[in-house]
């Protein structure tokens, strides 16, 4: 294979992992190898920081199942008509061309921890000295009786962005005045605590914009309270009076089942029927993490709070939604923050680079209506027990319109910044 630079080879590997399998994946010139599974908020950041900070001293491979990544963040704004779909999609080209990362577009089937190799779906093996596992979440379909992967085509969860988001958008746009939307909200812990309620706001924004006065949005929540509840409920009252009804478990008594054929959601209290039913089930760490024995009974993966190192395997780091991150919520911001700590620890392990004390941060912005943005966030530090919150902030009810607009604009800056930080610029 003449005239192939390492960078162009990386892109080719992305195009066809199978055909290039063995020779390419063998250890490159004795350099230590860092491999990352999952090119999302956590994995993309980890790969980029490893490559950027270690330069030619480290061989970095990123294994990602999809050719492009659709962000869950701002997918609600796409539903609300504030963004187009293309604007929330990102590619891996710059990670390969600007940072020399070998991007392998393939599904990682298992981790052979004994041999320190990732086994891809085609059977080829990628050896590692240190491995970052960042597969995000898997949906636990049967946590809602009657729900399944097939049912999700009719009652989309849209909690993994991509085709599911587009199904939800087309169903939302097809709603007619007088028709009802039902959301089954997820139990804790789940990705993006304020996400369901921002989504409800965007549903209402679309209905209001069409001048609908007879449609309702019913939220059936297994939790007695939710993130930024006072802010959302104040905003719903202000912008969408009478349109949104939120019921906690003390009112509906529990979700009994859903029926995709009729659009019915049966609870202990009553049966609610929607022309659009958005079912967001319980979640667990992405399958590869569980299959490799990195998770515990909670379905998520315990880590060392000082480094993000797996408690099950000291050659592996688990970051993002798949890990148990103490007080940190499961968010893109958190995953990005954890990735930098893991990348630093790996450079310490493999290159004797200096390792500074870990610090973490998170902010989650939500849009309630045009220019009405709110946020919640915190700083965190590791303790022997967990990643613990050290200070926090949250928007206040009754804030003026200028502050809310500034908060929304801040979120746009954050989106541009974090996607550049993950995928390169
Ligand atoms: C509606 C919604 C709104 C949200 N809004 C926000 C927000 O405003 N701010 C915020 O910070 N967060 C937000 N989030 C949360 C955020 O999207 C997630 O917390 C974040 O993406 C988690 O990052 P991750 O790297 O753990 O997983 P992901 O970003 O999901 O990345 C996982 C990647 O791993 C790949 N993968 C999985 N298994 C394999 C395998 N076996 N082989 C190869 N590849 C694999 C997947 O294809 C995927 O690309 C929102 C989420 C939702 C659902």
DSSP 218-245: EEE-SSSS-TTHHHHHHHHHHHSTTTEE
Contact 371, 395 (CB under 8 A): no
Best probe residue, ligand 1, of 316, 335, 373, 407 (max atoms within 8 Å of C-beta): 335
> In this structure, what token pair is assigned to residue 414?
């954050």
For the cut 50, the answer to whether the pLDDT of residue 8 exceeds it is no
> What is the rounded distance in angstroms from the CA atom of residue 41 to the CA atom of residue 260?
32
Atom of ligand 1 nearest to the CA of 321: 26
Which of 310 and 23 is assigned the larger pLDDT? 310
pLDDT at 12: 35
Contact 369, 239 (CB under 8 A): yes
Confidence of residue 401 (pLDDT cuts 50, 70, 90): very high
Residue nearest to atom 30 of ligand 1 (CA): 136
In this structure, which topology does domain 141-281 adopt according to CATH?
FAD/NAD(P)-binding domain (3.50.50)
Interval 336-353 mean pLDDT: 98
Atom of ligand 1 nearest to the CA of 38: 34
Contact 184, 277 (CB under 8 A): yes
Within 13 Å and on the Cβ side, how many CA atoms surround 170?
A: 9
Contact 292, 131 (CB under 8 A): no
Residue partners of 2: CB distance under 8 A and separation at least 6: none
Atom of ligand 1 nearest to the CA of 335: 23
Interval 40-49 mean pLDDT: 98
From the CA of 320, how far away is ligand 1's center (Å)?
8
* Residue whose pair of structure tokens reads 């609300």 in the numeric block: 80
What CATH architecture is 6-138+284-357? 3-Layer(bba) Sandwich (3.50)
Interval 49-54 mean pLDDT: 97
List, by residue range, all CATH 3.50.50.60 domains of the chain.
Answer: 6-138+284-357, 141-281
The mean pLDDT value of the chain amounts to 94
pLDDT at 299: 98
Element (H, E) at 365: strand 360-369
DSSP state of 275: S
Q: Would you call 374 helix, strand, or coil by DSSP?
A: strand
Residue partners of 58: CB distance under 8 A and separation at least 6: 31, 32, 33, 34, 50, 51, 347, 350, 351
Atom of ligand 1 nearest to the CA of 334: 11
Q: What is the pLDDT of residues 84-138, one digit of tens each?
A: 999 999 999 999 999 999 999 999 999 999 999 999 999 999 999 999 999 999 9
Q: What is the pLDDT of residues 195-230, one digit of tens each?
A: 999 999 999 999 999 999 999 999 999 999 999 999
> In this structure, what token pair is assigned to residue 87?
């604007």
Pocket of ligand 1 (CB under 6 A): 37-43, 63-66, 69, 72-73, 75-76, 107-108, 134-136, 159, 191-192, 195, 199, 286, 288, 320-322, 330-333, 335, 364-365
Minimal CA–CA distance to 110: which of 301, 283, 290? 290
pLDDT at 29: 65
> What is the rounded distance in angstroms from the CA atom of residue 268 to the CA atom of residue 252?
6
From the CA of 41, how far away is ligand 1's center (Å)?
6
Best probe residue, ligand 1, of 62, 72, 329, 377 (max atoms within 8 Å of C-beta): 72
pLDDT at 30: 86
User: Over the Cα atoms of the chain, what is R_g?
Assistant: 22
From the CA of 72, how far away is ligand 1's center (Å)?
7
pLDDT at 6: 36
Atom of ligand 1 nearest to the CA of 73: 5
- What is the distance, to the nearest Å, from the Cα of residue 24 to the centroid of all Cα atoms in its chain? 30
* Cβ count near 236 (within 10 Å): 23
From the CA of 392, how far away is ligand 1's center (Å)?
23
> In this structure, what token pair is assigned to residue 285?
């760490």
For the cut 80, the answer to whether the pLDDT of residue 61 exceeds it is yes
From the CA of 417, how far away is ligand 1's center (Å)?
16
For the cut 60, the answer to whether the pLDDT of residue 13 exceeds it is no
Minimal CA–CA distance to 326: which of 189, 208, 423, 215? 189
Residue nearest to atom 38 of ligand 1 (CA): 135
> What is the rounded distance in angstroms from the CA atom of residue 189 to the CA atom of residue 186?
8
* Cβ count near 398 (within 10 Å): 7
* Residue whose pair of structure tokens reads 């597969």 in the numeric block: 135
pLDDT at 48: 98
Element (H, E) at 250: helix 249-252
- Start-to-end C-alpha separation, the chain: 29
- What is the distance, to the nearest Å, from the Cα of residue 396 to the centroid of all Cα atoms in its chain? 26
* Cβ count near 17 (within 10 Å): 23
Interval 268-292 mean pLDDT: 98
Best probe residue, ligand 1, of 37, 38, 70 (max atoms within 8 Å of C-beta): 38
For the cut 50, the answer to whether the pLDDT of residue 65 exceeds it is yes
Within 13 Å and on the Cβ side, how many CA atoms surround 93?
A: 4
Atom of ligand 1 nearest to the CA of 339: 25
* Cβ count near 41 (within 10 Å): 30
> In this structure, what token pair is assigned to residue 374?
């709110």
pLDDT at 41: 98
Minimal CA–CA distance to 363: which of 193, 200, 151, 152? 193
Atom of ligand 1 nearest to the CA of 322: 26
> What is the rounded distance in angstroms from the CA atom of residue 275 to the CA atom of residue 261?
11
């Amino acid at each position: 294979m003449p005239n192939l630079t390492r960078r162009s080879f990386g892109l080719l590997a992305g195009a066809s992992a199978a055909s290039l399998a063995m020779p390419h994946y063998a250890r490159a010139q004795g350099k230590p190898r860092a491999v990352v599974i999952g090119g999302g908020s956590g994995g993309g950041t980890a790969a980029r920081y490893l490559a950027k900070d270690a330069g030619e001293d480290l061989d970095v491979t990123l294994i990602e199942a999809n050719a492009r990544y659709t962000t869950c963040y701002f997918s609600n704004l796409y539903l609300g008509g504030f963004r187009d779909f293309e604007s929330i999609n990102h590619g891996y080209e710059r990670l390969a061309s600007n940072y020399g990362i070998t991007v392998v577009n393939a599904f990682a089937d298992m981790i052979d921890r004994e041999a320190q190799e990732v086994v891809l779906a085609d059977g080829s093996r990628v050896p590692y000295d240190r491995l970052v596992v960042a597969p995000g979440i898997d949906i636990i379909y049967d946590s809602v009786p009657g729900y399944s992967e097939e049912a999700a085509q009719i009652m989309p969860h849209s909690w993994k962005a991509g085709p599911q988001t587009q199904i939800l958008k087309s169903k939302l746009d097809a709603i007619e005045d007088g028709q009802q939307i039902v959301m089954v909200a997820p139990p804790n812990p789940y990705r993006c605590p304020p996400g369901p309620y921002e989504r409800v706001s965007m549903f209402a924004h679309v209905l209001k914009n069409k001048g609908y006065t007879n449609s309702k949005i019913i939220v059936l929540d297994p939790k007695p309270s939710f993130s930024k509840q006072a802010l959302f409920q104040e905003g719903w009252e202000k912008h969408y009076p009478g349109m949104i009804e939120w019921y906690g478990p003390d009112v509906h008594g529990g979700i009994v089942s859903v029926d995709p054929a009729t659009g019915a959601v049966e609870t202990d209290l009553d049966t609610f029927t929607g022309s659009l039913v958005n079912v967001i089930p319980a979640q667990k760490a992405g399958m590869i993490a569980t299959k490799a024995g990195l998770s515990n009974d909670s379905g998520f993966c315990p880590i060392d709070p000082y480094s993000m190192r797996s408690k099950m395997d000291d050659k592996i780091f688990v970051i993002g939604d798949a890990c148990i991150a103490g007080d940190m919520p499961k968010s893109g911001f958190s995953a990005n923050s954890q990735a930098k700590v893991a990348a630093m620890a790996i450079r310490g392990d493999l290159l004797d680079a200096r390792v500074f004390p870990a610090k973490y941060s998170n902010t989650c912005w939500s849009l309630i209506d045009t220019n009405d943005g709110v946020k919640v966030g915190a700083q965190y530090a590791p303790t022997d027990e967990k990643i613990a919150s050290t200070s926090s902030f949250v928007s206040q009810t009754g804030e003026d319109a200028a502050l809310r607009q500034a908060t929304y604009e801040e979120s746009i800056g954050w989106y541009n910044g974090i996607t550049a930080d993950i995928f390169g610029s």
